[in-house]
Amino acid sequence: MSSVSDTDESKSRLERIAGYLLDATVLERIGIAVGATAFALLIGLVIVALAGYDPFRFATQLVVGAFGSERAIARTLRFSTLFVLAGLAVAVAFRAGVFNIGVQGQFVVGGIACVMSIIWTAPYLPTGTVGGVLLIGIGVVNAIVFGGLYGALPGALKAYAGANEIITTIMLNFIAIGVVGWLVNGPFRGEEATSVRTEQLPDYVAFPQVVFSDPNFSVVGFGIAVLSVIGVAFVLTRTRYGYDMVTSGYQATAARFSGVDSKQTIVATMTLSGMIAGLTGAVFAIMIQGSYTDPAGIGNYGFDGIAVSLLAANNPIGVVPAGILFGGLESAGSHIQIRSDVPVQLINGIIGLVVLFVAVPELFRMIGARMGLGGDDR
Amino acid sequence: MSDDGLLQQRWVRLGASAAVVLVVLGAVGSMMFGWDLERLLTVGFVNRSLQMATPITLAAIGGLYAEKSGVFNIGLEGFMIIGAISTAGVLFALGGTTPSQGDIWIAMVAAVLVSLVLTAIFAVLLIDYQADQIVAGLAVWFIGLGFAPFVASLVWGSRNSPGLASIDNVTVPGLSEIPWIGPVVFDQSPLVLLTLVLVIASWVFLYRTRYGYWVQAAGENPKALDTAGVNVTRVRYATVLFSGAMAGFGGAVLLAHAGNFVGTGDTMVNGRGWIAIVAYLFGNYNPLGAAAAAVLFGGLDMLQVQFQTAGIDVPSRLVNLFPYVIVIVVLSVWGKTRMPSAVGESYDQEE
Amino acid sequence: MSTDNSTAVRLDGITKRFGDVVANDDVTFTLEEGTIHALLGENGSGKTTLMSVLYGLYQPTDGTIVVDGEEQSFASPRDAMAAGVGMIHQHFQLIEPMTVLQNVVLGHEPTKNGLVDEEAAREEITQISDRYGFDVARHLDTPVRDLDVGVQQRIEIVKSLYRGADVLILDEPTAVLTPQEVDALMEVMDDLRADGHSLIFITHKLDEALSAADQITVLRDGEAVGSVDSAETDERGLARMMVGREVLFDRLEREGEPGDPVLTASDLRVSGDRGVEQVADVDLTVREGEIFGIAGVQGNGQTELIEAITGLRSIDDGTIEFGGRDATEMSRRERIESGIAYVPEDRQKEGLVQEYDLVRNALLGNQTIEPFVDGALVDWPFVADHAESIVEEYDVQPPTTTSEASSLSGGNQQKFIVGREIERDPDLMVASHPTRGVDIGAIEFIHNRLIELRDRGVATLLVSSKLEEVRKLADRVAVMYEGEFVDIVDPGGVTEEEFGLLMTGHGVDEEVDPGPDLGIEDEEVTE
């Protein structure tokens, strides 16, 4: 251990952290994220105006719909919970240089695994709070395991068969949605279900309502997301496994030099990413749905997770503000759908634009340099 | 032809794998479920498969040109969606719900132009501003997934369009009466025939013209091409523009065959752009191979209809997944397609 | 072509600086028309830089270029080509999956009806090929990647001729060839000269320069030492010009004797990336307190041998024993943990993560070693202090650990890597080209550290293409040629020329070039 005294050590550590935070690259990344979002929103408003609506009213509704009331905030946090978790799943993989586009599929597989494991084991366990906690535990573990396996598959195919993970994971998304869609409409369909869905989860299987009373949101869910972020950030920055993964993402040749087995790392990364995606599915199923419906119609959380992660420059901590921002957009979308004629799909288009602009940091460096905003450190 | 040996191997493999898949399916089906194979393999099936393969082929050819020149255009799916919605929109503007055949052609040309303009922006970001090719390509997909239903909602008040019009077959009287060949060749969608022409033309262009040489060189060793006095950036601009236009055209063809726009779920394109990428990988970056692979995928896609008409009870939802499963198998078994060596690297002229 | 001695190329006072490094210092060079002019010098003496200036790849900091009596300023190779200058690079500019014909005509394709006129191209290429007796014509439809290196090189030459080059620059053309292919190349060069072309032949091999060239210019440390007629000199004279004299007495006398074997490799066979055998049946032993040098022209299997020993490349056959244990099956990580340090050949790609700061780079390779990690947890304060001490002890500039590796100069990057690897307290240090592209001060520094390491009893395996480095540091030197050790010698007892001969494979079992004989041990070449 280091011979430096404790106070000295903590001081130098503080200085170091401050150094990181003030790091030009971190500031630059934040600048790019803000620029990309602002630019995309601006284009969105122009489109609203061109489509013949009032852009100012639209902008107001965006803000009101996202943060204007307690209900809006709860709704925003509901979406944010999923975006943060899905974004985290993507960020883990992208950090390690593996393009897991399959978070959506792993999310669906995790979700159905969670619901079915709870439904099948519920008869054997006591009802009430104890049973609820146990069942949630069982559901979450199953979601994580199955999500992880569904992520490990394309990881193994990439590592040992050379199959491009971008394409295999996209195909696996279609497959997961198709198979689960068939299951919930056939073998897994609830006996009393009037629509296409599984049986309902027992009502004691739910997160407690604290602070907000929204049937589809619990602070516990958001807490799980934040804890996952902290856990992943810890693994990536403080453990040697995280170092191996991140180094592989930055520079595979150097990772190999340092003794990293690249194939194992790919599989491990995809598994971890899939596990988080599975957890996302569990939170979605327990907190929001209470059963499982046809995944073709449950929202593209896995894809939006890509946008969240990219906006956060694949930084696990950055996923939190990015997820909240996207949660706000989505929440505002729900609001706008009711309160205005502007088609809500615009929000998805704007998210696409955010991703596009995030892909082009050079553009914002140039704009920054033109505007005299410290473009000179490059 | 540079890849003769390799190509032949691939053709053999492609044909063999397709044959194996079909034989196994047929055998299992007829023995276990008593399928009537004659009712499965019909002229209608061949025609539907070809029509299904057409959009995939067009996008695949565009994509392989871009990748051959060193730019991975992962946005094919997005450009297909853009092509489809543009066609539907223009078609509706021209003739409401009863447009004429001429309107369909005009709408498709307009869709290609729209795709071209958007691809031009994409190309600038990719080539001049060195955007991350994968992220930017995904963004195009997201943009398509968002804005296409948005436009549909603006125009029709719903994510889907009402029935517009689909393109009529070109029928040659007399010749179309020939059994088998007649209905496939002489009573066929003009777009299928046009695609066939484009496939052959793009093969000739790539392997027999100087520009084709440059495309290949730009993706393999841009420096060698640069020292030979050819502007690498210009070559790459041309191929990326071509890829966007072809994908947009693919989307337009998809719409012209279907006759209405579907914007729910992953829209009516529903992964065909991604399958196009696999098609050209499977076809080893050769337009003919890519087209053959697309026909295979198109056939798989149409099996479901076939099963239904033959009265075979297989859940359509699962049969629909067939092409996706095959894609994964294909990639895993032939995963190590040799990519052009300079794909993904931006090329800096001044060295 | 005229036979009078008019000048084809004249480089006058060329200076080329890269930042602080002077690659060419006021070099003047004249190529007479219809002659072969060898540019001789060791690796890093500035030969390739000088020719890159002539070929338009670099713009000179100072000086003028005159081609065919006209002063030229080449902004790019295209301009140089237009003026009739062609260059055959060490790394061929060929498009591997495309055919020979396509490669040759690329950018200058004859067309007919919009299509490439293959017949016309075929005819013209065959004509060129036949004139110089190349056997290129029969390969016209073969993809380049299926052809031998020797044929590929001829394709490069044909390409230059097809584009109308009068002046041909051949950059180390023999480095990648077998002896038979070298002979064939020499004939080709003769034919080209006879046909009126002017050739510049870059090499560091004395015998080749002597036998092929009319004129020889020697470069050393970026300066032109002198130009001589090849008829008026011999290998000894050239070696003296190339090496200078001061280096030879630079050998450091060692104290103490080497101890027990640390690393023993037996019957090692290793394949390269393309599956071709690159290391053929090598045996080597490195002992405690000994620096074992491997000399040789690059690309003779050194890289593959080193990667096999450090665990980065699997071997086809043979055994590796390290510290008394069988290490043949050990993974890279196990080898690091058991005490093998490695200064890699490519510091940019392997030795450092460019976007990491020096703290995070200090952990590279130490991820599983206490006290850097405690179980799964990284002890970052300890790593940071460690990085700090490397920066301090190994004089890394600027002396901050928070700067990104990519912001450091090559020499400072290398000092950091050397520091990190030495501080791993290894039993075996594998150093691959530890001073390549590093400034003089850092070279001296790194050499001293390696010697200190030796004196502490560490076994060191040193690969370098710089002969003087191996001679200075190593106790024993193996000379590698075509995947084999030609000989293992005491560097103090062998002259530079003898090394040069060994490095070209002479002295194995064949009696090539009886000219300068080897029986000159008693004759000191130096003072």
Subunit contact A254:C353, Cβ cutoff 8 A: yes
Write the CA distances from C143 to A90, A274, B1, B3, C139, integer angstroms.
41, 43, 9, 8, 8
Cα-Cα-Cα-Cα torsion C202, C205, C211, C216, nearest 10 degrees, comes to 50
What's the structural domain count of chain A? 1
The pLDDT of residue B308? 74
The answer to whether residues C324 and C361 belong to one domain is no
**Which residues of chain C from 333 to 372 reach within 8 Å of chain A, CB to CB?**
333, 335-336, 342, 344, 346, 349-356, 360, 363-368, 371
Q: Is A227 exposed, middle or buried (0-12, 13-18, 19+ CB in 10 A)?
A: exposed
The answer to whether residues C79 and C161 belong to one domain is yes
The answer to whether residues C52 and C140 belong to one domain is yes
> Distance (Å) from the C-alpha of residue C22 to the closest C-alpha of chain A?
25
Instruction: Pull the structure tokens for residue B172.
Output: 């040659």
Dump pLDDT digits (tens) for C130-157: 888 777 888 899 999 888 778 888 899 9
**Percent of chain C having pLDDT more than 70?**
89
Instruction: Specify if B209 maps to a domain.
Output: yes
- The CATH number assigned to the domain holding C60 equals 3.40.50.300
Subunit contact B324:A174, Cβ cutoff 8 A: yes
Residue scoring higher pLDDT (A21 or C77):
C77
Instruction: Specify if C1 maps to a domain.
Output: no
Instruction: Specify if C50 maps to a domain.
Output: yes
Subunit contact C353:A251, Cβ cutoff 8 A: yes
> Distance (Å) from the C-alpha of residue A306 to the closest C-alpha of chain B?
9
Instruction: Specify if C345 maps to a domain.
Output: no
Instruction: Specify if B14 maps to a domain.
Output: no
Number of neighbours of residue C73 by Cβ within 10 angstroms: 10
Residue scoring higher pLDDT (A261 or B351):
A261
Domain that holds residue A291: 54-340
The pLDDT of residue B171? 82
> Distance (Å) from the C-alpha of residue B334 to the closest C-alpha of chain A?
8
Cα-Cα-Cα-Cα torsion C271, C273, C276, C277, nearest 10 degrees, comes to -20
Identify from C89, C106, C146, C171 which residue to disrupt to test chain B contact, counting B C-beta atoms within 10 A and taking the largest count.
Answer: C106
Nearby residues of A84 by Cβ (< 8 Å), 6 or more positions away: A222, A225, A226, A228, A229, A308, A319, A320, A323, A324, A327
The pLDDT of residue B6? 47
Of A104-113, C373-382, C502-511, which gets the smallest average pLDDT?
C502-511
Pick the closest to residue C366 from C425, C449, C303 (CA basis).
C425
Domain that holds residue C266: 250-339+427-527
> Which of B131, B146, B324 is nearest residue A349 as measured by Cβ atoms?
B146
Which of C425, C457, C483 is the last residue in one of the domains? C425
Nearby residues of A41 by Cβ (< 8 Å), 6 or more positions away: A62, A350
The pLDDT of residue A21? 46
Which of C425, C452, C474 is the last residue in one of the domains? C425
Nearest CA in chain B to A153: B328
Pick the closest to residue A198 from A190, A208, A186, A206 (CA basis).
A190
Contacts of C96 in chain B (CB under 8 A): 220-221, 341
> Distance (Å) from the C-alpha of residue A94 to the closest C-alpha of chain C?
16
Write the CA distances from C52 to B56, C14, C192, integer angstroms.
47, 12, 22
Mean pLDDT, range C353-361, rounded to an integer: 92
Q: HSE (CB half, 13 Å, CA atoms) of B345?
A: 14
Instruction: Specify if C315 maps to a domain.
Output: yes
Mean pLDDT, range C378-391, rounded to an integer: 94
Instruction: Pull the structure tokens for residue C508.
Output: 């194995």
- The CATH number assigned to the domain holding B116 equals 1.10.3470
CA–CA gap between residue C422 and residue C339 (Å, rounded): 11
Instruction: Pull the structure tokens for residue B320.
Output: 């629909």
Q: Is A7 exposed, middle or buried (0-12, 13-18, 19+ CB in 10 A)?
A: exposed
Dump pLDDT digits (tens) for A184-195: 988 888 887 778
CA–CA gap between residue B167 and residue B260 (Å, rounded): 11
Nearby residues of C341 by Cβ (< 8 Å), 6 or more positions away: C421, C422, C424, C426, C428, C429, C430
Instruction: Specify if C438 maps to a domain.
Output: yes
Instruction: Specify if B11 maps to a domain.
Output: no
- The CATH number assigned to the domain holding A132 equals 1.10.3470
Dump pLDDT digits (tens) for C58-85: 899 999 999 988 899 988 888 888 899 9
CA–CA gap between residue C391 and residue C400 (Å, rounded): 7
Instruction: Pull the structure tokens for residue C440.
Output: 């003089």
CA–CA gap between residue A137 and residue A142 (Å, rounded): 9
Contacts of A362 in chain B (CB under 8 A): 129-131
Does the beta carbon of A176 lie under 8 angstroms from any beta carbon of chain B? no
> Distance (Å) from the C-alpha of residue C353 to the closest C-alpha of chain A?
6
The answer to whether residues C433 and C385 belong to one domain is no
Residue C168: strand pairing partners = C86, C199
Percent helix, strand, coil in chain B, to 5, is 70, 0, 25
Number of neighbours of residue C2 by Cβ within 10 angstroms: 8
Most distant CA pair in chain A: distance in Å? 69
Dump pLDDT digits (tens) for C161-192: 999 899 999 988 887 676 677 888 898 899 99
Instruction: Specify if A135 maps to a domain.
Output: yes
Instruction: Specify if A192 maps to a domain.
Output: yes
CA–CA gap between residue A147 and residue A276 (Å, rounded): 7
DSSP assignment of B253-292, as one string?
Answer: HHHHHH-S---STTTTTTTHHHHHHHHHHHTTT-HHHHHH
| pLDDT level of residue C519 (50, 70, 90 thresholds) | very low
Dump pLDDT digits (tens) for C433-475: 898 767 667 788 889 899 999 999 999 999 987 777 888 899 9
The pLDDT of residue B13? 60
Residue scoring higher pLDDT (B145 or C524):
B145
pLDDT of C508 over the 50 cut: no
Does the beta carbon of B271 lie under 8 angstroms from any beta carbon of chain A? yes
Instruction: Specify if A236 maps to a domain.
Output: yes
Instruction: Specify if B78 maps to a domain.
Output: yes
Q: HSE (CB half, 13 Å, CA atoms) of C488?
A: 13
Contacts of C344 in chain A (CB under 8 A): 257
Nearest CA in chain B to C139: B2
The pLDDT of residue C513? 41
Of A6-10, A289-293, C155-159, which gets the smallest average pLDDT?
A6-10
Instruction: Specify if B250 maps to a domain.
Output: yes
The answer to whether residues C170 and C304 belong to one domain is no
Nearest CA in chain B to A170: B274
Strands (E), C291-416: 291-295, 317-322, 325-326, 340-343, 373-374, 377-378
Subunit contact A247:C353, Cβ cutoff 8 A: yes
> Which of B2, B224, B228 is nearest residue C97 as measured by Cβ atoms?
B2
The answer to whether residues C265 and C324 belong to one domain is yes
Contacts of C350 in chain A (CB under 8 A): 253-254, 256-257
Residues B59-89: b if buried by 16+ CB within 10 A, e if exposed: bbbbbbbbbbbbbbbbbbbbbbbbbbbbbbb
Nearby residues of C407 by Cβ (< 8 Å), 6 or more positions away: none
The answer to whether residues C318 and C290 belong to one domain is yes
Instruction: Specify if A360 maps to a domain.
Output: no
Nearest CA in chain B to C98: B2
Which of C248, C275, C308 is the last residue in one of the domains? C248
The answer to whether residues C214 and C279 belong to one domain is no
Does the beta carbon of B266 lie under 8 angstroms from any beta carbon of chain C? no
Number of neighbours of residue A21 by Cβ within 10 angstroms: 9
Instruction: Specify if B316 maps to a domain.
Output: yes
Paired sense of beta strands C111-112 and C115-116, if any: antiparallel
Instruction: Pull the structure tokens for residue C96.
Output: 């591997």
Amino acid at C230: S
Over chain B (351 residues), the average pLDDT of each successive run of 10 is 46 62 67 63 82 95 95 94 96 91 95 97 92 89 92 91 88 79 80 95 95 94 87 94 97 94 88 90 89 88 76 77 85 70 69 37
| pLDDT level of residue A144 (50, 70, 90 thresholds) | very high
The pLDDT of residue B262? 93
Instruction: Specify if B247 maps to a domain.
Output: yes
What's the structural domain count of chain B? 1
The answer to whether residues C219 and C255 belong to one domain is no
> Which of A171, A182, A306 is nearest residue B138 as measured by Cβ atoms?
A306
| pLDDT level of residue A365 (50, 70, 90 thresholds) | confident
CA–CA gap between residue B172 and residue B176 (Å, rounded): 6
Pick the closest to residue B202 from B228, B231, B239 (CA basis).
B239
Amino acid at C416: F
Q: DSSP alpha helices (H): ranges in chain A?
A: 6-21, 24-50, 55-67, 70-95, 103-121, 128-161, 165-185, 219-238, 240-250, 252-257, 262-283, 301-311, 319-339, 345-358, 361-370
Instruction: Specify if A160 maps to a domain.
Output: yes
Identify from A171, A306, A311 which residue to disrupt to test chain B contact, counting B C-beta atoms within 10 A and taking the largest count.
Answer: A171
Contacts of C99 in chain B (CB under 8 A): 2
Of A240-244, A338-342, B205-209, B338-342, which gets the smallest average pLDDT?
B338-342
> Which of A168, A181, A356 is nearest residue B143 as measured by Cβ atoms?
A356
Q: What is the pLDDT of chain C when averaged over all its residues?
A: 85
CA–CA gap between residue C415 and residue C306 (Å, rounded): 20
CA–CA gap between residue C202 and residue C42 (Å, rounded): 10
Dump pLDDT digits (tens) for A28-46: 888 888 888 999 999 999 9
Instruction: Specify if A200 maps to a domain.
Output: yes
| pLDDT level of residue C352 (50, 70, 90 thresholds) | very high
> Which of C105, C116, C163 is nearest residue B209 as measured by Cβ atoms?
C116
Task: Give the chains touching A; criterion: ≥3 Cβ pairs < 8 Å.
Answer: B, C
Nearby residues of A199 by Cβ (< 8 Å), 6 or more positions away: A119, A190, A191, A192, A193, A291
CA–CA gap between residue B229 and residue C32 (Å, rounded): 27
pLDDT of C1 over the 50 cut: no
> Which of B125, B135, B277 is nearest residue A310 as measured by Cβ atoms?
B135
The pLDDT of residue A374? 44
Subunit contact C377:A240, Cβ cutoff 8 A: yes
CA–CA gap between residue C523 and residue C527 (Å, rounded): 10
Instruction: Pull the structure tokens for residue C163.
Output: 């584009």
**Which residues of chain B from 224 to 243 reach within 8 Å of chain C, CB to CB?**
224-230
The pLDDT of residue C518? 38
CA–CA gap between residue B284 and residue A287 (Å, rounded): 47
Residues C101-111: b if buried by 16+ CB within 10 A, e if exposed: bbbbbbbbbee
Identify from B140, B154, B313, B337 which residue to disrupt to test chain A contact, counting A C-beta atoms within 10 A and taking the largest count.
Answer: B154
| Sheet of C325-326, strands arranged across | C277-287, C261-271, C317-322, C325-326
What's the structural domain count of chain C? 3
DSSP assignment of B70-82, as one string?
Answer: T---TTHHHHHHH
The answer to whether residues C275 and C410 belong to one domain is no
Compute the C-alpha angle C409/C413/C416, nearest 5°. Answer: 140
Asked if C472 contacts C444 with a C-beta cutoff of 8 angstroms, the reply is no
Q: Tokens 């939802």 sit at which residue?
A: B317
The pLDDT of residue A175? 94
Mean pLDDT, range C96-109, rounded to an integer: 91
The answer to whether residues C233 and C272 belong to one domain is no
The answer to whether residues C527 and C435 belong to one domain is yes
Asked if C58 contacts C16 with a C-beta cutoff of 8 angstroms, the reply is yes
Dump pLDDT digits (tens) for C11-51: 999 999 887 778 899 999 999 999 999 998 876 678 888 99
Amino acid at A357: F
| pLDDT level of residue C378 (50, 70, 90 thresholds) | very high
Instruction: Specify if B349 maps to a domain.
Output: no
Subunit contact A240:C350, Cβ cutoff 8 A: no
